[in-house]
Amino acid sequence: MTQTETETVPEQDVPGRTRWGVFLAILAVPTLVVAALLALLIAWLFTDDSVDTGVRTVSCAEAFAYGGAKSPTGVRDLTCSLEAGQRPRYEARFLMRNAEVSAWVAANYPDGPALRTVQCGGTDVYACLNRDPAAGQSASVQMEVAHDSDRWSEVRYKAFTP
């Protein structure tokens, strides 16, 4: 009997199977991160930036009246605001001639105290006033006066309920 020769076929070099699942999983993570960041950026761009901080512009007559004073005359850059909360806090900022500041304080608070030049906060503040509520009033007043120029002072006036 003749033996049949068995042909052996050498293994062919078959390329390995690409593992697409692993490859896609690796690509999916950074893609999802970038997509999430883009979504957050778009949401941030279209959100309403007018979040209510509780601070609003009010008439200056209202702000000064709360502290028992009258609005000053001959001032520049007068702005007044109200910080609403459990207790209202009015603030006014304005520029007034240096020579008129003490006279305005004395006219509005004849029973004192006068502006003082010691124990005032801040290095730019040259005069200040702290006034507790007077009879018939419920508001305290704080005032800081700083030099803006040789002729003008910046006055920061606050009236609040302690």
Question: Using CA atoms, how far apart are residues 66 and 129, in angstroms rounded to an integer?
Answer: 16
Tens of pLDDT, residue by residue over 72-124, are 998 999 999 999 778 889 999 999 999 999 999 999 998 888 899 888 877 78
- Residues 157, 143: contact at Cβ < 8 Å? yes
Q: Which residue has the tokens 């062919």?
A: 12
Predicted confidence at residue 5, as pLDDT, reads: 62
Terminal Cα-to-Cα distance of the chain (whole angstroms): 120
Tens of pLDDT, residue by residue over 25-78, are 888 888 999 999 999 988 888 876 655 567 889 999 999 999 999 999 989 999
Q: 153: which strand partners?
A: 96, 147
Q: Which residues contact 92 (CB under 8 A, 6 or more apart)?
A: 60, 63, 64, 78, 79, 80, 81, 155, 156, 157, 158
- Residues 114, 105: contact at Cβ < 8 Å? yes
